[in-house]
Structure 1
Amino acid sequence: MRIVTGALVFDVEDPNTPRILLLQRSANDSMHNQWEFPGGGCDDEDESILHAVARELWEESGLQANHISGPVGDPHFFTSRSGAKIWKFSFAVQAKTPPEGRLMARLDPTKHQRFVWASLAEVMAKKVANIELDFTTLELVATILQAFDHLEHK
């Protein structure tokens, strides 16, 4: 069994319209061109699951975790396409704001091809401006919606 993590990062520059970071998977990767939030597997070198969340956020978006809140929603158990048994834990993460003042993702093009910051309305419409959001799984969308709820009741 493998443990994976997810980082639910919000840009709250406009507190009336928080936006969540979404990444589009590379055209050459599995689930190509679909949207997800940053995350990935826990490595043997990770000191804890929270360390894995922070590391994956950095590796996938170039953002540094400033604070990690408790888990969002229940862990999600599933079997990968390769047959691996996976437990996914997702956490609300506050990213460090860089000196220039705007949260900007830096992507590894072998993993992700672009990013968007999406409001709750945009997630529900599955569209940001002219970009269609084809999410990887229904469970991922449910977790995103729980993250917005978590943010609102924080």
Structure 2
Amino acid sequence: MTPPVLRIQRLAHGADLPLPAYQSDAAAGLDLLAAVPADAPVTIAPGGRALVPTGLAIALPPGTEGQVRPRSGLAARHGVTVLNTPGTIDADYRGEVQVVLANFGDAPFAVTRGTRIAQLVVAPVLHVAVTEAETLDETARGAGGFGSTGLHGRT
């Protein structure tokens, strides 16, 4: 079976960077790279955030979305994560892919040109028909939320 095609346009400020790539055979996400100027890294102070360009515009396959997710190594080692995770890229968006990084660590973090800053997971999207209802069907959980199922689950 032929995989769906993700069309990528390199923008001028990202022309010399590699295209997003899976880093292992079973990886779920394509790594996104920072397209900041080589002579002007973006430094994110502790508690700060920055909108980091990738130098790419994409055309997702119809019926999919792009989910921008954090890289676990950045989070574990530096406290740096994607702020609006997962960020959603709609299939009809054609602007530059940018990543909102936040620094929850205790030291400034420098984003340099080519740094792998996030992952892009392409996932199917289901559109639903919306209908208003007077009541909803009953479930065992009911309206419980925000931890209502417990910290350790059922025993």
TM-score (norm 2): 0.25
TM-score (norm 1): 0.25
Task: Return the structure number with greater helix share.
Answer: 1
